[in-house]
A and B are shown apart, each in its own frame.
Chain A
Amino acid sequence: MVGIVGYGSYLPRYRIKVEDIANQWGRDPDVIKKGLLVNEKTVPGTDEDTITISVEAGRNALKRAGINPKLIGSVYVGSESHPYAVKPSGTVVAEALGITPEVHIADFEFACKAGTEAMWVVYNEVKSGELQYGLAIGTDTSQGAPGGALEYTASAGGTAFIFGKENLVAEVIETYSYTTDTPDFWRREGAYYPRHGGRFTGEPAYFKHVYNAGIGVLKKANLKPQDFTYAVFHMPNGKFPQTIGKKLGFTKKQLVPGWIVPYMGNTYSGSSPTGLSATFDVSKPGDLILIVSFGSGAGSDAFVFKVTERIDEVRDLAPKLKEMLDENKIYLDYGKYAKFREKIIMNE
């Protein structure tokens, strides 16, 4: 059996409400909120980035795994906001977590599914017997241009998973990946903000890939939506995961624990992994959980997990996602938000 032995998330404490962004740009807040089904989003502190979030999420995963960090053989950080263009995020993360030096490290990038890319590779490395444990992290301090549609949702946070073969919290039952060349969202080298293809990001991109990955993994695992307790789909906004969940045959109830986007926005590479973390927090032994990511460009990774009895032992060893969503929040106005996200041009 191969699966997750420890999981952990991290969210910044700062928030901005969607109405504060809408008011800034002369838009109707109620129309925006109803359209996106997002109320507020997380904002990274001035001293937070993909590396700091990865370290905090990784520490929480280690607390739940209860293993010697030196036994981790791979560290992969999936993100589209790595602080360096050249120099890996993973080296800082692995050093901070006490994993170095006998470890293989790489940074992954595949728009919003870089996190599940990392999970996919680590899972297969452990399954092949090459590693005893591997660490996969999905995280972002997402970019969205001022006044653009993404500014309402682009948020910060991340989740780490340690894969192994013993003392599992959740076993991997099946995996499936579906990928085509679809230019729905991109950021060119040197560009500060990403661009997207408007409505083209929906049907031929998100819905096509998530649907086919979902159908594919259900068929491969010989399971039906009714067999699952919970399902998590990538959350670019509140509506997309609900729409695709319904199309695949899942009920709203099955999506509830992992449908975190109204309260924290879209954490890009951290989105579906953090939804999975929130779902583990409330799951019971024996629960089947489906997760399907989506990365523009475009592709989806699907995993079917079966939760083990160890979930009850480890759940409280690190902060749960609901606590991070609800506690110690600090709200920013748009001016402070613009300063925090370095949207104001300063003299060098």
Chain B
Amino acid sequence: MSSPKIWRQRIERYRLLGQKCKDCGKVLFPKRLVCSECGGREFDKEPMPEVGKIITYTTVYFGPKFLEQDIPYILAIIELKNGVRITTQVVDTEPKEVKAGKEVKFVFRKLKDEGKTGVIIYGYKAQLC
């Protein structure tokens, strides 16, 4: 990922900050230029809830190099209380502990580093409550 792209996405990755359509009230995350509900183009900033629940998940045994240390790791779709769904890693757990319906909270973590000398990318992941 290029540094400009990392930089452009930092606020939503760091703060889990989404948007709310000024026309129809649809809450969107990540942010978009056009509302997926009504086509509106004006938005207010909308913080996402800090907790959600696991809708579904998978255990990853062959992942990218930067996640080699974590294998096997959990990738899950999390539904927030406002209906927004987010795909992210569930950390600090064994795969056998993870179940659909379990509550998770979002935590601030390293997402990736571009090798020992590259830039480190930070953002949100999920942790079982």
Contact = CB atoms under 8 A, between A and B. Distances in A.
A55 B109 CA distance: 9
A46 B70 contact: yes
B110 to A, nearest CB: 4
Given A48-B109, A92-B122, A339-B69, A98 B15 contact: yes
A96 B14 contact: yes
A48 to B, nearest CB: 7
Contacts of A12: 92
A51 interface: yes
A83 B70 contact: no
Given A47-B110, A348-B115, A92 B92 contact: no
A95 B11 contact: yes
Given A13-B92, A340-B69, A49 B110 contact: yes
Interface in B76-129: 91-94, 107-111, 115-116, 120, 122, 125, 127-128
Nearest to A92: B122
A348 B68 CA distance: 12
Given A55-B108, A98-B15, A340-B69, A45 B92 contact: yes
B92 A52 contact: no
B3 to A, nearest CB: 11
A207 interface: no
Interface in B35-77: 68-70
Among B91, B108, B128, residue most surrounded by chain A Cβ atoms (within 10 Å): B108
Contact of A92 (B14, B70, B91, B93): B14
A14 B69 CA distance: 15
B10 interface: yes
Contacts of A48: 109-110
A334 to B, nearest CB: 16
Nearest to A54: B108
A172 B17 CA distance: 36
A47 B91 contact: yes
A49 B122 CA distance: 10
A346 B116 CA distance: 12
A247 to B, nearest CB: 40
Contact of A95 (B14, B110, B116): B14
A98 B14 CA distance: 9
Interface in A30-45: 45
A45 B10 contact: no
Nearest to B70: A46
A149 interface: no
A19 interface: no
Nearest to A96: B14
A57 B15 CA distance: 14
A13, A46, A48, A51: which has the most chain B beta carbons within 10 Å? A46
Interface of B: 10-11, 14-15, 68-70, 91-94, 107-111, 115-116, 120, 122, 125, 127-128
Interface of A: 12-14, 45-49, 51-52, 55-56, 59, 83-84, 92, 95-96, 98, 328, 330, 339-340, 342, 346, 348
25 contacts: A12-B92, A13-B127, A14-B92, A45-B91, A45-B92, A45-B109, A47-B70, A47-B109, A49-B120, A52-B109, A52-B110, A56-B108, A83-B120, A84-B120, A92-B14, A92-B122, A95-B11, A96-B108, A98-B15, A328-B92, A330-B94, A339-B69, A342-B69, A346-B68, A348-B115
Closest 6 CB pairs of A and B: A96-B14, A47-B109, A55-B108, A47-B110, A46-B69, A13-B92
Given A47-B110, A52-B109, 14 more contacts: A45-B91, A45-B109, A47-B109, A47-B111, A52-B107, A52-B110, A55-B14, A56-B107, A95-B14, A96-B14, A96-B15, A328-B92, A330-B92, A339-B69
